[in-house]
């Protein structure tokens, strides 16, 4: 973290002459994070573009501030909507780094929570619980997954509203200290925001995370296998190609996470297959190869 | 007088920015922060009242600064100190402790001498403040 | 080793053949291992010299004796297993020797030292001999009490954290009467020091009887405590001619409510262990002055290195030990001092030849020994002292307090302000080594005692060649 300190740059000029945005950008090393985001996540082009847009906005705000053109601290709170396994948490972490490098947050760590971390079970339990989480997140980013669970209007004994009140306070009054990112399914987040206009009005940026396409999921699968030091045989590759669209039709599809699970199951089947042949010597090649049958045994094909 | 307990008591009172810098140092080391207050500054009064539980897992000093301000506001005429605690093996103790608030007027201590046999004297230190009941010690 | 038929034939035999040299031996975790610096006489083979040291510090004698065979003599023989030349010093060799645990009485420094250094240092075939370092096995460490109080508990008792402690020796060393002596103590403590101390030879002399001194010092300590709200102390020296006298003095110190007493190294290892036991039983911090050590620790060729003495003293159970200042008036090379401080303060000291640490040493949870830096240091060196010595140390400014032009209180205040300002700056992330003088100057602007101190001593340094340096130089590493 220490090498990311923003240093005053030679790009700062007197009020009358111009600002060198490129120098400002390279000094803050934001490009490195954006490039890493490009490399790390497959697809998600609209999201990556939005992240670059936001980074550019923040950079220009910084430049304006250096010329004394400040217009108060910008609101940085965000909402990320999309299905599970589409990269929301990963982008939240990269966003935290970008904010740190542009000096919008002091430390740039991410505290990821869900409703249960913020809401208590009895009267008086919620406020201290929420405040403690907020303290830990100060100086960084608070990422609240499935944020809509905070709001349960049908249950009058629900303490989620208290947590929302406290959050609203902090999001308004301590914008220097904390950035909040709310995340969840798109339609449920929309309902949540409609019922909580105060919260909605404090969100400056909405990012939507589309589902991955089949080729993207295949590429993700290949990358995961490479990281685990496995490879697919040609039959395996064909099986994967057929597996993915079938799996996407099934319920509870969680994009990259479901791919991960499928690969883990394939590894299990591979292991059993090899173990069944334990009478003979197994080659290194066999140990790293996933065969078609390891994938075709899935229920998806039945 | 001015009691000189705590790590920085011979320096001018720390500004909020200076307190924050010390807190950042402590948080960087991974230490937990505790805030305590008392109206009895006797040197052997080790257990000051705790202002909430110690704060663990913090990355930034603002959470602590707001608690310090709250404590000062609630107890303006008491001594308030901040301590940083290190739980690593071989230490497991306080590593830094300094005063962040003092009563406007510090009356100091009385040295009581109790003569016993021969030339022996038994010494007791009494805080002038504690001669008044709690709540009226620094008015 | 020679075959058993030949081994015990009467007559003289080289030590290396008697079983004291075994190049295949791997020391057990439970062995005590020592490394000696050997300077054999001309014509003496280094391996034979090493074996001779091993022999003469364990079971051998100059001729074969049949009574050896009544014992499990293989076990009791010390084994020299490695000999290597000392870099840059021809004619000197480091020799590693292992001793079985069975050779030692539990919990006895007197026995450990009598065994290892008791017999061999006058041995004619050696020109010179120095015990450089020792590895004490955990099994043996656990039989020792260790520091009676230790750094952590000492700080908790004093309620002082986050900075070095400050002390001073009363000056003049000798001659003051008790009442005037107590005045010096009061002034220094009131001005801002945490401790004042008796000097090593202040015991009970015609100009000052010990009881009088204790009474007046405790008056000063308590008065200063009430004046500042801090816990203060004065190291009351209980060194005396006999243990009975020492116990009498220590008990009196306790009765008077002192938090700390001191002893001198010259009372001997047995007395030191007794006093450490007493200190633990009586909740007293025990300060050790290393009086006399330089007679045998200072020359590289002959004697015992102070790092070994420090180890023994930690095992024996003292809480403070004078361990060097680097920049003061007494001998101290920075790397060697670092090694000594490591032995005092670590939970686990790692081998580092550039600091003269020849072994990894696991301290088995023995409490930590507070090093004390004393001797010709002044406030103007504060940034160097903190950089070299760290935070868990007692910095003693005797002359630097009492010799202050504005008086003793001013001297104490100058030191305390310099220290706190330096620690505050260090925590803020400033570069102490280079910015130290600026930090001191900034504090001096509002603190006139500090200004005067810096003016008075600004040109004082003690730059002499060190006599005791490490033999291994840190190699430049590729960036």
Q: What pLDDT, on a 0 to 100 scale, did the predictor assign at position A38? A: 85
Above 90 in pLDDT, residue A121? Answer: no
Task: For strands C126-135 and C303-304, give the pairing.
Answer: parallel
Q: What pLDDT, on a 0 to 100 scale, did the predictor assign at position A24? A: 74
Above 90 in pLDDT, residue A160? Answer: no
- The residue written with tokens 């930034």 in the block is B60
Q: What pLDDT, on a 0 to 100 scale, did the predictor assign at position A44? A: 86
Provide the 3-class DSSP secondary structure of residue C462. coil
Per the CB < 8 Å rule, is B59 touching A135? no
Above 70 in pLDDT, residue A43? Answer: yes
pLDDT band at C4 (very low <50, low <70, confident <90, very high): low
Q: What pLDDT, on a 0 to 100 scale, did the predictor assign at position A151? A: 85
> Is the separation of the CB atoms in C192 and C164 below 8 Å?
no
What letter would DSSP give residue C208? B
The dihedral built from the CA positions of residue C42, C48, C54 and C58, taken in this order, carries a sign that is negative
Which residue in chain B is spatially nearest to C224 when comparing CA positions? B111
Rounded mean pLDDT of chain A? 86
B→C contacts (Cβ < 8 Å), by residue, are 1, 3-5, 7-12, 18, 21-22, 25, 41-44, 46, 83-84, 89-98, 108-111, 119-123, 125
What letter would DSSP give residue C169? B
Would you state the structure tokens that stand for residue C105, as one six-digit string? 């009485």
- Spatial CB neighbours of C267, under 8 Å, sequence gap ≥ 6: C239, C246, C275
Above 80 in pLDDT, residue C58? Answer: yes
Above 90 in pLDDT, residue C240? Answer: yes
Would you state the structure tokens that stand for residue A65, as one six-digit string? 């501030």
Q: What pLDDT, on a 0 to 100 scale, did the predictor assign at position B34? A: 96
Highest mean pLDDT among A75-84, A240-249, B2-11: B2-11
Provide the 3-class DSSP secondary structure of residue C114. helix
**More confident call, B16 vs A64:** B16
Above 60 in pLDDT, residue A4? Answer: no
Q: What pLDDT, on a 0 to 100 scale, did the predictor assign at position C155? A: 97
Q: Suggest the residue from B1, B3, B4, B23 to mutate for an interface test with chain C (most C CBs closer than 10 A).
A: B4
Poorest-pLDDT segment among A244-253, B56-65, C6-15, C177-186: C6-15
Between CA C78 and CA C56 the distance in angstroms is: 9
Strand partners, B50: B36
- The residue written with tokens 């720390």 in the block is B14
Cis peptide before A101 (omega within 30 of 0): no
Separation in Å, CA of A142 to nearest CA in chain B: 13
Q: What pLDDT, on a 0 to 100 scale, did the predictor assign at position C68? A: 82
> Is the separation of the CB atoms in A170 and A132 below 8 Å?
no
Query: Percent of chain C having pLDDT more than 90?
Result: 80
Per the CB < 8 Å rule, is B93 touching C423? no
Specify burial of residue C406 (Cβ count, 10 A radius: 0-12, 13-18, 19+): middle
Q: Chains B, C: CB contacts under 8 A, how many?
A: 107
Q: What pLDDT, on a 0 to 100 scale, did the predictor assign at position A153? A: 79
Which residue in chain C is spatially nearest to B25 when comparing CA positions? C427
Per the CB < 8 Å rule, is A139 touching B59? yes
> Is the separation of the CB atoms in C151 and B95 below 8 Å?
no
Between CA A198 and CA A164 the distance in angstroms is: 10
pLDDT (tens digit, 9 = 90+) per residue, C403-437?
Answer: 999 999 999 999 999 999 999 999 999 999 999 99
Provide the 3-class DSSP secondary structure of residue A125. coil
Query: Which chain B residues touch C283 with a CB distance below 8 Å?
Result: none
Poorest-pLDDT segment among A96-100, A164-168, C2-6, C249-253: C2-6
Above 50 in pLDDT, residue A13? Answer: no
Per the CB < 8 Å rule, is A177 touching B59? no
pLDDT (tens digit, 9 = 90+) per residue, B39-81?
Answer: 999 999 999 999 999 999 999 999 999 999 999 999 999 999 9
Would you state the structure tokens that stand for residue C273, as one six-digit string? 């262990």
Q: Which residues of C295-327 are buried (b: 16+ CB within 10 A; e: fewer)?
A: ebbbebbbbbbbbbbbbbbbbbbbbbbbbbbbb
> Is the separation of the CB atoms in B111 and C223 below 8 Å?
yes
Provide the 3-class DSSP secondary structure of residue C463. coil
CA B97 to chain centre: 7
Tell me the residue length of chain B: 139
CA-based nearest residue to B120, from C256, C374, A53, C238: C256
- Spatial CB neighbours of C449, under 8 Å, sequence gap ≥ 6: C404, C406, C410, C411, C413, C414, C417
Q: What pLDDT, on a 0 to 100 scale, did the predictor assign at position A60? A: 85
> Is the separation of the CB atoms in A231 and A290 below 8 Å?
yes
- The residue written with tokens 């001999």 in the block is C129
pLDDT (tens digit, 9 = 90+) per residue, C460-478?
Answer: 777 777 777 888 877 655 5
Count other Cβ atoms within 10 Å, centred on residue C432.
17
> Is the separation of the CB atoms in C332 and C451 below 8 Å?
no
Above 80 in pLDDT, residue C8? Answer: no
Phi, psi of C38 (to 5 degrees): -105, 135
Between CA C310 and CA C336 the distance in angstroms is: 12
Chains that touch A (3 or more CB pairs under 8 A): B
Phi, psi of B75 (to 5 degrees): -135, 70
pLDDT (tens digit, 9 = 90+) per residue, B99-117?
Answer: 999 999 999 999 999 998 8
CB-nearest partner of B7 from C417, C420, C443: C420
Q: What pLDDT, on a 0 to 100 scale, did the predictor assign at position B2? A: 93
Q: What pLDDT, on a 0 to 100 scale, did the predictor assign at position C37? A: 96
Q: Does A110 touch chain B if contact means CB atoms closer than 8 Å? A: no
**More confident call, C3 vs B21:** B21
Per the CB < 8 Å rule, is B59 touching A136? yes
Torsion of Cα atoms, C318 then C319 then C324 then C329, to 10°: -90
Above 80 in pLDDT, residue C389? Answer: yes
Query: Percent of chain A having pLDDT more than 90?
Result: 40
Average pLDDT over residues C300-328: 94
Separation in Å, CA of A108 to nearest CA in chain B: 9
The dihedral built from the CA positions of residue B126, B132, B135 and B138, taken in this order, carries a sign that is negative
pLDDT band at A17 (very low <50, low <70, confident <90, very high): low
pLDDT (tens digit, 9 = 90+) per residue, C174-231?
Answer: 889 999 999 999 999 999 999 999 999 999 999 999 999 999 999 999 999 999 999 9
pLDDT (tens digit, 9 = 90+) per residue, A170-218?
Answer: 998 888 889 999 999 999 999 999 988 988 999 989 999 988 988 899 9
Q: What pLDDT, on a 0 to 100 scale, did the predictor assign at position B48? A: 96
Of chain A residues 148-207, which have a CB less than 8 A from chain B?
174, 177
- The residue written with tokens 């305590």 in the block is B36
Above 60 in pLDDT, residue A7? Answer: no
Q: What pLDDT, on a 0 to 100 scale, did the predictor assign at position A22? A: 77
Highest mean pLDDT among A6-20, A60-74, C297-311, C320-334: C297-311
Provide the 3-class DSSP secondary structure of residue C168. coil
Strand partners, C371: C321
Separation in Å, CA C152 to CA B16, C101, C426: 29, 31, 21
Average pLDDT over residues C108-117: 95
Q: What pLDDT, on a 0 to 100 scale, did the predictor assign at position A6? A: 41
Question: Residues of C with catalytic annotation?
Answer: 171, 289
Between CA A234 and CA C213 the distance in angstroms is: 94
Between CA A52 and CA C266 the distance in angstroms is: 74
Query: Percent of chain B having pLDDT more than 70?
Result: 99
> Is the separation of the CB atoms in B79 and B99 below 8 Å?
yes
pLDDT band at C5 (very low <50, low <70, confident <90, very high): low
- Spatial CB neighbours of C468, under 8 Å, sequence gap ≥ 6: C297, C298, C299, C300, C305, C306, C331, C333, C336
Q: H helices of A203-288, where?
A: 214-227, 234-249, 255-276, 284-288
- The residue written with tokens 């108060």 in the block is A72
Poorest-pLDDT segment among A120-124, C109-113, C214-218: A120-124
Separation in Å, CA A104 to CA A33, A79, A171, A272, C429: 15, 18, 14, 52, 22
Between CA C422 and CA C436 the distance in angstroms is: 7
Between CA B119 and CA B98 the distance in angstroms is: 38
pLDDT band at B139 (very low <50, low <70, confident <90, very high): low
Rg (CA), chain B: 17
Between CA B9 and CA B7 the distance in angstroms is: 6
- Quote the pTM value: 0.85
Q: What pLDDT, on a 0 to 100 scale, did the predictor assign at position B129? A: 87
CA-based nearest residue to C454, from C385, C404, C386, C409: C404
pLDDT band at C18 (very low <50, low <70, confident <90, very high): confident
Poorest-pLDDT segment among A211-220, B71-80, C79-88, C262-271: A211-220
Q: In what order do the strands lie in the sheet with A205-209?
A: A110-113, A141-145, A179-184, A78-82, A205-209
pLDDT (tens digit, 9 = 90+) per residue, C336-372?
Answer: 999 999 999 999 999 999 999 999 999 999 999 999 9
> Is the separation of the CB atoms in C39 and C126 below 8 Å?
yes
Phi, psi of A208 (to 5 degrees): -105, 135
CA-based nearest residue to C284, from C314, C255, C241, C304: C255
CA-based nearest residue to A61, from A103, A13, A8: A103
Phi, psi of B26 (to 5 degrees): -65, -40
Separation in Å, CA C303 to CA C51, C53, C122, C128, C290: 19, 14, 11, 8, 15
Average pLDDT over residues C33-59: 93
Highest mean pLDDT among A6-10, A251-255, C420-424: C420-424
Between CA C54 and CA C1 the distance in angstroms is: 14
pLDDT (tens digit, 9 = 90+) per residue, C128-152?
Answer: 999 999 999 999 999 999 999 999 9
CA-based nearest residue to C246, from C274, C266, C265: C274
């Amino acid at each position: 973290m220490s090498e990311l300190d923003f240093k005053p740059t030679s790009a700062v000029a007197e009020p009358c002459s111009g600002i060198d945005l490129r120098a400002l950008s390279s000094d803050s090393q934001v490009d490195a994070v954006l490039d890493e985001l490009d490399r790390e996540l497959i697809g998600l082009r609209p999201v990556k573009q939005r992240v670059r847009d936001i980074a550019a906005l923040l950079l220009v705000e910084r430049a304006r501030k250096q010329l004394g053109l400040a217009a108060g601290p910008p609101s940085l709170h965000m909402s990320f909507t999309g299905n599970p396994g589409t990269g929301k948490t990963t982008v939240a972490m990269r966003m935290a780094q970008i904010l740190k490098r542009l000096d919008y947050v002091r430390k740039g760590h991410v505290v990821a929570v869900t409703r249960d971390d913020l809401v208590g079970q009895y009267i008086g339990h919620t406020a201290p619980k929420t405040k403690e989480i907020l303290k830990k997140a100060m100086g960084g980013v608070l990422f609240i997954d499935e944020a809509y669970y905070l709001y349960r209007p049908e249950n009058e004994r629900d303490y989620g509203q208290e947590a929302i009140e406290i959050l609203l306070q902090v999001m308004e009054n301590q914008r220097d200290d904390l950035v909040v990112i709310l995340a969840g399914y798109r339609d449920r987040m929309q309902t949540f925001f409609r019922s909580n206009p105060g919260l909605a009005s404090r969100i400056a940026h909405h990012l939507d995370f589309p589902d991955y396409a089949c080729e993207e999921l295949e590429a993700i699968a290949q990358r995961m296998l490479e990281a685990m030091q496995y490879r697919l045989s040609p039959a395996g590759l064909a099986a994967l190609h057929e597996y993915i669209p079938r799996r996407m039709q099934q319920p509870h599809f969680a994009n990259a996470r479901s791919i991960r699970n499928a690969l883990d199951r394939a590894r299990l089947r591979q292991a059993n297959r090899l173990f069944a042949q334990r009478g003979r010597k197994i080659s290194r090649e066999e140990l790293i190869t996933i065969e078609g049958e390891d994938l075709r045994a899935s229920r998806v094909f039945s | 007088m001015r009691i000189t307990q705590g790590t920085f008591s011979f320096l001018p009172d720390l500004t909020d920015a200076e307190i924050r810098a010390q807190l950042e140092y402590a948080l960087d080391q991974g230490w937990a922060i505790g805030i305590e207050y008392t109206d009895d500054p006797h040197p052997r009064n080790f257990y000051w009242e705790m202002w909430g539980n110690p704060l663990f897992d913090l990355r930034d000093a603002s959470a602590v600064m707001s608690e310090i301000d709250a404590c000062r506001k609630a107890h303006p005429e008491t001594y308030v100190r901040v301590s940083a605690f290190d739980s690593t093996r071989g230490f497991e103790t306080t590593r830094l402790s300094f005063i962040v608030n003092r009563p406007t007027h510090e009356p100091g201590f009385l040295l009581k001498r109790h003569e016993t046999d021969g030339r022996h004297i038994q010494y007791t230190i009494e805080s002038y403040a504690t001669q008044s009941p709690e709540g009226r010690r620094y008015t | 080793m020679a075959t058993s038929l030949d081994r015990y034939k009467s007559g003289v035999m080289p030590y290396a053949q008697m079983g004291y040299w075994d190049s295949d031996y791997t020391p057990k975790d439970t062995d005590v291992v020592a490394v000696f610096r050997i300077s054999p006489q001309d014509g003496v083979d280094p391996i034979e010299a090493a074996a001779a040291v091993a022999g003469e510090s364990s079971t051998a004698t100059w001729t074969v004796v049949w009574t050896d065979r009544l014992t499990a003599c293989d076990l009791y023989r010390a084994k020299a297993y490695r000999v290597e030349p000392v870099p840059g010093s021809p004619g000197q060799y480091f020799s590693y020797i292992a001793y079985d645990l069975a050779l030692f009485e539990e919990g006895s420094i007197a026995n450990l030292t009598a065994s290892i250094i008791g017999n061999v240092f006058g041995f004619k075939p050696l020109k010179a001999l120095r015990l450089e370092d020792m590895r004490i096995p955990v099994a043996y460490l656990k039989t020792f009490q260790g520091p009676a109080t230790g750094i952590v508990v000492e700080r908790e008792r004093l309620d002082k954290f986050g900075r070095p402690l400050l002390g001073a020796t009363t000056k003049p060393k000798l001659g003051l009467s008790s009442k005037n002596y107590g005045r010096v103590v009061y002034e220094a403590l009131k001005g801002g020091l945490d401790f004042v101390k008796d000097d090593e030879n202040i015991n009970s002399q015609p100009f000052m009887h010990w009881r009088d001194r204790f009474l007046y010092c405790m008056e000063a300590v308590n008065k200063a405590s009430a004046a500042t709200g801090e816990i203060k102390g004065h190291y009351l020296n209980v060194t005396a001619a006999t243990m009975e006298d020492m116990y009498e003095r220590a008990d009196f110190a306790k009765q008077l409510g002192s938090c700390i007493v001191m002893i001198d190294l010259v009372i001997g290892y047995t007395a030191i262990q007794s006093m450490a036991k007493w200190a633990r039983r009586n909740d007293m911090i025990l300060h050790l002055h290393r009086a006399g050590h330089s007679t045998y620790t200072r020359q590289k060729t002959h004697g015992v290195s102070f790092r070994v003495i420090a180890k023994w003293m930690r095992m024996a159970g003292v809480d403070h030990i004078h361990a060097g200042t680097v920049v003061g008036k007494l001998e101290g090379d920075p790397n060697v001092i670092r090694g000594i401080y490591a032995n005092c303060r670590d939970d686990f000291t790692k081998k580092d030849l550039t600091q003269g640490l020849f072994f990894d040493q696991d301290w088995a949870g023995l409490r930590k020994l507070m090093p004390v830096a004393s001797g010709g240091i002044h406030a103007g060196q504060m940034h160097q002292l903190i950089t070299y010595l760290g935070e868990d140390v007692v910095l003693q400014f005797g002359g630097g307090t009492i010799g202050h032009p504005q008086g003793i209180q001013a001297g104490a205040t100058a030191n305390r302000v310099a220290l706190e300002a330096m620690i505050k700056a260090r925590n803020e992330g400033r570069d102490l080594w280079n910015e130290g003088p600026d930090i001191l100057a900034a504090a001096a602007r509002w603190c006139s005692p500090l200004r005067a101190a810096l003016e008075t001593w600004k040109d004082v340094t003690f730059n002499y060649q060190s006599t005791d340096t490490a033999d291994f130089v840190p190699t430049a590493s590729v960036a």
